[in-house]
């Protein structure tokens, strides 16, 4: 069976809730403080594993309490952590997150041990031709590049979630089969300060064509509550978002990416994978936390059945 192999960050999210975000120089009294497992790598690996596909995480944590808690949480989510390394020198990555009353977030991410994952640590990493390799940009760019080259050489399909945006990621596009970005990352990748709001399909198509590295490449831009747009070799799709009562939007994008990889691993078409991932991400914002909000297969099936979206249920 195809595996999802995720290479990326492992982070403890420290989440403060307040009525609104503070302005520069302002102090706002918060309502609560919570600690949640997070980091794009961990989130996407947990999303994939909970949806029932064999999943391995390549990453680095610190030799500290946060690192121990994160490794235990990943194992309990059925993520293979044999390639989750432990740094004796750097602390586990940490994100400082503020959530307002509308569940919108601002995030400051401190990489910690994630910045220490180097190409030299990848000697024991192998890929199969049926695997999907999923990477993001919260680990060093040269490590991401090495992983993509290795995955491609083994015949694995490669997915790049170009987040957070790094100017150097443009060099990764020729070795990326599926590119996934949000609207801000798309603007940066296309060399624009911003994109039209609300973005038209024509505008999104034009920007994605500017970023496309080769004709067979599939490019996806996620649009939050507005859904997504995809430009692929087999067609293009503008898919609307689902109406939900958002509690916490942190991790929704990671849920989308992990679920998309799962659907591809299961042999679904690109359009089916997009719709499946769109639904999974929508369901995740109804729960608090990043990693904790990733739906399991049973809970997502119930969510889909309640909305009579039977076409996305696994047969």
d(CA 50, CA 138): 22
- 314 within some domain: no
Q: Say whether 254 is catalytic.
A: yes
Domains in the chain: how many in total? 1
- 52 within some domain: yes
pLDDT (tens digit per residue) in 163-220: 999 999 999 999 999 999 999 999 999 998 777 778 899 999 999 999 999 999 999 9
Q: Residue 133 belongs to what domain range?
A: 4-19+33-307
- 91 within some domain: yes
> If you average pLDDT over residues 210-237, what whole number do you get?
95
pLDDT (tens digit per residue) in 253-305: 999 999 999 999 999 999 999 999 999 999 999 888 878 889 999 999 899 88
- 109 within some domain: yes
Catalytic residue among 64, 131, 177, 254: 254
- 211 within some domain: yes
- 313 within some domain: no
- Domain containing residue 162: CATH number: 3.40.1190.20
pLDDT band of 314, cuts 50, 70, 90:
low
pLDDT (tens digit per residue) in 25-63: 999 999 999 998 999 999 999 999 999 999 999 999 999
- 24 within some domain: no
- 28 within some domain: no
Closest by CA to 262, choosing from 120, 115, 25, 49, is 49
């Amino acid at each position: 069976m195809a595996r999802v192999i995720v290479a990326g960050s492992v982070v403890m999210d420290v989440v403060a809730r307040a009525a609104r975000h503070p302005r520069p120089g302002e102090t706002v009294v918060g309502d609560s403080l919570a600690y949640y497992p997070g980091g794009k790598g961990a989130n996407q690996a947990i999303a994939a594993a909970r949806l029932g596909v064999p999943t391995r995480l390549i990453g680095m944590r610190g030799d500290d309490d946060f690192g121990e808690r994160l490794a235990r949480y990943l194992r309990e989510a059925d993520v293979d952590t044999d390639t989750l390394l432990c740094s004796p020198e750097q602390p586990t990555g940490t994100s400082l997150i503020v959530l307002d009353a509308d569940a919108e977030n601002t995030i400051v991410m401190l990489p910690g041990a994630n910045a220490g994952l180097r190409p030299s640590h990848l000697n024991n990493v192998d890929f199969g031709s049926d695997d999907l390799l999923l990477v993001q940009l919260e680990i060093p760019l040269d490590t991401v590049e090495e992983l993509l080259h290795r995955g491609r050489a083994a015949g694995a399909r490669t997915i790049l979630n170009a987040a957070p945006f790094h100017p150097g990621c443009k060099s990764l596009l020729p070795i990326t089969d599926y590119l996934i970005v949000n609207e801000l990352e798309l603007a940066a990748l296309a060399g624009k300060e911003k994109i039209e709001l609300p973005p038209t399909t024509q505008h999104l198509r034009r920007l994605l064509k500017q970023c496309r590295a080769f004709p067979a490449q599939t490019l996806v831009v996620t649009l939050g509550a507005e859904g997504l747009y995809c430009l692929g070799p087999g067609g293009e799709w503008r898919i609307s978002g689902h109406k939900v009562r958002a509690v916490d939007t942190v991790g929704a994008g990671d849920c989308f990416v992990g679920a998309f990889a799962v659907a591809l691993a299961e042999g679904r078409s690109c359009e089916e994978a997009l719709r499946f991932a769109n639904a999974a991400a929508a369901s995740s914002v109804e729960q608090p936390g990043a990693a904790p909000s990733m739906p399991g297969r049973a809970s997502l099936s119930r969510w889909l059945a309640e909305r009579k979206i039977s076409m996305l249920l696994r047969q």
